[in-house]
Amino acid sequence: MKKIQIALDGPAGAGKSTIAKQLASKLGYVYIDTGAMYRAVTLSALESEVDLEDGEELGKLVKTLAIRLTPGENGQRVFIGEREVTEAIRSSEVTNNVSFVARQKQVRDALVALQRSVASEGGVVMDGRDIGTVVLPDAELKVYMDATVEERAGRRHRENIARGMESDLQALQAEIALRDKRDSEREVSPLSQAADAVYLDTTHLTIDEVVDQLNALVNGVLQ
C-alpha cells in the first residue's frame, strides 16, 4: 500500500504532537516532531548565550548540532549529539523563547532541509506550524488543528502538573496568546493554514476522536 506524507499544522497546545504520535503508531508511519528540533536549537542557544535575535550566529550554531529524534518506550526521545534533552527542551524558558529562534531564516532553512530529507520516502506524520505551507507543500494530506486559547492553556497546565512542574493557568493563557501572535506575524514561514488543508477544531474532541477523524481522512486519500 502506498505510504503518504501527512502534515499537521496549528498553534501551540492544539494537540498536534499527541495526535501525530498516535496516528503514526496506528498507521505504522514515522512521527517527526519538528517543534522538538526548534526547541533543541533554542536550548543550545540559551546555554551558549547566543543572541536569540541573531540569525547569523544561530545559523552557525545549528550547523554544529547533531539533532536526533528516536522512538522510546514513553514517546519520542530527543538528542543533541549523545546528550538526551527530551525533558530539558520542555522547560518554560525554552517554551517562552523558541518563537524567537524559529523565526530566524538561517535556522529554518537548515531544519527544513533536514525535515524534507527525512520525509522524502513518505510514510511520515509531521507536525509543526509551516509543514503544509512550506516544509511539505506537496503532502497528500494536510490538516490544520486548532482549539481555543483557554482549552490549549488548560491542556498545557495539566501536562505540567503531570510532570511535577509548577504551573499557572492564567500565565499560560497569556503566554500561548503571545506565542500565537509571534508565530502568526513572523516574516519567515508564519503560522497559517494551507489553502488545501482540512480545518479541525479539537476543542471539544477527545484524543481518540481526533485520531479516528484523521484516520478516516487518510483512508479517503488512499482510496
In the chain, the percentage of residues whose pLDDT exceeds 70 is 99
User: Which whole number is the average pLDDT over 182-209?
Assistant: 93
In the chain, the percentage of residues whose pLDDT exceeds 90 is 73
pLDDT for the residue numbered 8: 97
User: Which whole number is the average pLDDT over 138-161?
Assistant: 95
Q: What is the Rg, in whole angstroms, of the alpha carbon atoms belonging to the chain?
A: 17
pLDDT for the residue numbered 57: 96
- In the DSSP assignment, the letter for residue 132 is I
pLDDT for the residue numbered 54: 96
CA dist 62 and 57 (Å) reads 9
CA dist 175 and 99 (Å) reads 11
Render pLDDT for 62-112 as a digit per residue (tens, 0 to 9). 999 999 888 777 677 899 999 999 999 999 899 999 999 999 999 999 999
Q: What are the helix (H) ranges across the chain?
A: 16-27, 34-48, 55-64, 92-102, 105-119, 149-162, 169-185, 207-222
Q: What is the mean pLDDT of the chain?
A: 92
pLDDT band at 1 (very low <50, low <70, confident <90, very high): confident
pLDDT for the residue numbered 12: 87
Taking the model in full, what pTM does it have? 0.80
Extents of the domains making up the chain: 5-203
According to CATH, the topology of domain 5-203 is Rossmann fold (3.40.50)
Q: Are 217 and 27 in contact (CB under 8 A)?
A: no
Render pLDDT for 35-45 as a digit per residue (tens, 0 to 9). 899 999 999 99
pLDDT for the residue numbered 33: 87
pLDDT band at 6 (very low <50, low <70, confident <90, very high): very high
pLDDT for the residue numbered 116: 92
